[in-house]
């Protein structure tokens, strides 16, 4: 392939990479994926995609050095014309180096950010040629941005009635005992039905009523959500999108900074926003009977707005950057 015709899709695992897997393939471009090692990277590779892996560094000034070295090697090999990036700290050095070496950068803020800008967005938007956001509240936080229809709206589907419960804590390194404990208590009280399939990640809590597994690949997660009657998860945009496209209104428990579950409390924002739209049930802690009843109600029809979809806005931005390159 002509090296300066390549587009790199750079995203952290979880909702960031999920967003790119929805909009990236709509581009008529030769592409390379950049993310960290894990089930999502492996799944992309199984599908025949070219994947480059960067080591995580957790914002450590020492551990960032291997990330920088690997990013430079990838950029020397691929030499992308455009980098399309979505969060988080993993891809910030890559985007900065890409800009310094002549690539254009398009940044897409995650759906999970409602009303503020992510730390990665604050950095990358300063050197980006285009910034796409998905909420009017978030657009106010960027000096120049294109407001798009939230990508989650494109994923709403009506599903068949399932059975049992699917639980997912996501890919974050912080444990999320509160979620597994809340489901354990709800199953014991007869509020949530079995069988229970639970992805526990780095969580240490040992449930009494079900047996979790640490990791599931994307296909397994999709199948578990399709088969389940209820989806209970952290308030991450990726797993919420999985629930919605399988016809489930998820019960979402936001990860909280005060409990050591996340770097901030932005998951509270998306949980409240989606509950207002009828697309999720925002949990405060324990799962009660009213929460389960609300989760069982049919999803609303997909909302239609005048703003362009993320995919349409991205194609328009790419066309502009190609002409400017």
Distance CA 82, CA 72 (A): 15
User: Crossing angle of helices 218-227/39-46, nearest 10°?
Assistant: 100
What are the tens digits of pLDDT across the range 277-298? 999 999 999 999 999 999 999 9
Query: Which segments in the chain show pLDDT lower than 70?
Result: 1-4, 302-306, 321-325
Residue 217: the pLDDT is 92
- Domains held by the chain: number: 2
Spatial contact of 87 and 242, defined as CB atoms under 8 Å apart: no
Structural domain containing residue 279: 155-296
Spatial contact of 271 and 281, defined as CB atoms under 8 Å apart: no
104 and 145 share a domain? yes
117 and 37 share a domain? yes
Beta strand spans in 126-187 (E): 130-133, 146-147, 165-168
Distance CA 270, CA 112 (A): 5
111 and 171 share a domain? no
100 and 187 share a domain? no
Fill in the DSSP letter of residue 262. S
Residue 321: the pLDDT is 65
Among 33, 75, 79, 29, smallest CA distance to 53 is for 33
The CATH number of the domain holding residue 286 is: 3.40.50.2000
Beta strand spans in 109-245 (E): 130-133, 146-147, 165-168, 196-199, 230-234
In the chain, helix, strand, coil percent, each to 5? 40, 15, 45
Residue 121: the pLDDT is 94
Burial of 213 (0-12, 13-18, 19+ CB in 10 A): exposed
Let me know if residue 301 belongs to a domain: no
Q: Kindly state the tokens that stand for 183.
A: 């489901």
Residue 2: the pLDDT is 45
Helix (H, G, I), strand (E, B) or coil at 260: coil
User: Locate tokens 């949990």: which residue?
Assistant: 283
Helix (H, G, I), strand (E, B) or coil at 118: coil
Residue 306: the pLDDT is 67
47 and 167 share a domain? no
Residue 279: the pLDDT is 94
Q: What is the pTM of this model?
A: 0.88
Distance CA 41, CA 45 (A): 6
């Amino acid at each position: 392939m002509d090296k300066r015709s390549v587009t790199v899709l750079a995203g952290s695992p979880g909702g960031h990479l999920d967003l790119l897997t929805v909009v990236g393939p709509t581009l008529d471009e030769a592409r390379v994926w950049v993310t960290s090692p894990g089930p999502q990277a492996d799944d992309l590779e199984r599908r025949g995609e070219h994947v480059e892996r960067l080591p995580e560094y957790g914002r450590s000034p020492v551990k960032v050095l291997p990330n920088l070295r690997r990013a430079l090697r990838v950029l020397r090999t691929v030499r992308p014309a455009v980098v399309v990036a979505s969060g988080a700290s993993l891809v910030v050095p890559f985007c900065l180096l890409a800009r310094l070496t002549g690539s254009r950068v398009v940044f897409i803020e995650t759906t999970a950010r409602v009303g503020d800008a992510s730390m990665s967005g604050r950095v990358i938007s300063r050197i980006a040629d285009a910034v796409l956001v998905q909420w009017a509240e978030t657009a106010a936080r960027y000096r120049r941005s294109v407001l798009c229809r939230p990508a989650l709206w494109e994923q709403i589907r009506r599903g068949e009635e399932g059975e049992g419960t699917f639980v997912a804590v996501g890919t974050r390194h912080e444990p999320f005992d509160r979620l597994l404990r809340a489901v354990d208590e709800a199953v014991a009280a007869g509020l949530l039905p079995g069988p229970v399939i639970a992805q526990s990640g780095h969580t240490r809590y040992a449930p009494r009523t079900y047996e979790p597994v640490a990791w599931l690949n994307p296909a397994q997660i999709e199948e578990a959500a399709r088969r389940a009657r209820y989806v209970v998860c952290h308030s991450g945009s990726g797993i919420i999108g999985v629930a919605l496209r399988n016809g489930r209104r998820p019960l979402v428990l936001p990860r909280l900074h005060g409990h050591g579950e996340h770097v901030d409390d932005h998951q509270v924002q998306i949980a409240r926003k989606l509950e207002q739209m009828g697309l999720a049930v925002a949990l405060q802690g324990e799962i009660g009977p009213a929460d389960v009843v609300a989760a069982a109600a049919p999803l609303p029809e997909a909302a239609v707005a005048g703003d362009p979809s993320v995919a349409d806005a991205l194609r328009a931005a790419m066309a502009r950057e190609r002409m400017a390159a």
